[in-house]
Amino acid sequence: MKEIKGYIFDLDGVIVDTAKYHFVAWSNIARTFDYELTHEDNELLKGVSRVDSLEIILELAGKTLEDDQKKALLIKKNEEYLSLIEGLTKDEMLPGVEDLITEARELGFKIGLGSASKNAEQILVKLGVIDYFETIVDGNGVVNGKPHPEVFLTGAKNLGLHPEECIVFEDSQKGIVAANTGGFGSVGIGNAEELQEADLVISSFEKLTYSVLQTVFIELHNN
């Protein structure tokens, strides 16, 4: 990277701690066919669309279902998820993420969202942060899910930036692969072992500033 001009954020598990609600809702669906979803299984679902998540769970459970049964479960899962996040507020944003976005806007950077979720806009509205984003690319607008880079490439294009001018923030392994494949700088939020392909892994946004990112992505690469 020569210069950082934009940040593209994943939503679930990066802006806001919703991964736990997806887990609860999927666990309840899995129990309807006697499968107990584990936290390890849940890692496979991060960054994955609703439809594909159900396929993964069915495969883990060794279960086959008719299309109309799957459709009914997908509706049920989303209804439960939406009821779990009904009272979502700014308090459940990841500590430090809003400060990083605010600083970036003051620096004139462009900010985008790249998420697999079809609920992204309503979540950003609940959090009161939708106005920070110049582009929102979500599960309603992409054909290829992560690890395909489409969601981030579309985001960069909408921001008028090249991938190598943007940093992608992601909590899923598939999202990190998508960012790397697309030519973006990648920051993993979470566990260094699970996100080892990321250029940088942080356990929290607290204390993360542009100057830290500049050191990692620009200065270290030029030396």
Task: Catalogue the active-site residues.
Answer: 10, 12
For 147, the token pair is 């690890």
12 binds ligand BG6 (CB under 6 A): yes
β-pairing, 135-137 with 166-170? Answer: unpaired
122 binds ligand BG6 (CB under 6 A): no
Contact criterion met (CB below 8 Å) for 143 and 150: yes
- Among 46-54, 90-98, 187-195, 201-209, which window interacts with ligand BG6 (CB under 6 A)? 46-54
124 binds ligand BG6 (CB under 6 A): no
147: preceding bond cis by omega (within 30 degrees): yes
173 binds ligand BG6 (CB under 6 A): no
The one among 5, 22, 110, 126 contacting ligand BG6 by CB under 6 A = 22
Decide whether 60 or 212 has the Cβ nearer to ligand BG6: 60
Q: How far apart are CA 72 and CA 94, in angstroms?
A: 32
The one among 1, 4, 10, 136 contacting Mg ion by CB under 5 A = 10
49 binds ligand BG6 (CB under 6 A): yes
The one among 50, 54, 109, 190 contacting ligand BG6 by CB under 6 A = 50
117 binds ligand BG6 (CB under 6 A): yes
Q: Residue 122 binds which one of Mg ion, ligand BG6, none, with CB within 5 to 8 A depending on kind?
A: none
Reduced 3-state DSSP string for 4-60: CCEEEECCECCCECCHHHHHHHHHHHHHHCCCCCCHHHHHHHCCCCHHHHHHHHHHH
Q: How far apart are CA 57 and CA 67, in angstroms?
A: 15
116 binds ligand BG6 (CB under 6 A): yes
Q: How far apart are CA 123 and CA 200, in angstroms?
A: 27
6 binds Mg ion (CB under 5 A): no
DSSP alpha helix (H) spans, the chain? 19-32, 39-45, 50-61, 67-84, 97-106, 120-127, 150-159, 173-182, 210-214, 220-222
118 binds ligand BG6 (CB under 6 A): yes
Q: What residues line the site for ligand BG6 (CB under 6 A)?
A: 11-12, 22, 45-50, 53, 78, 115-119, 139, 172
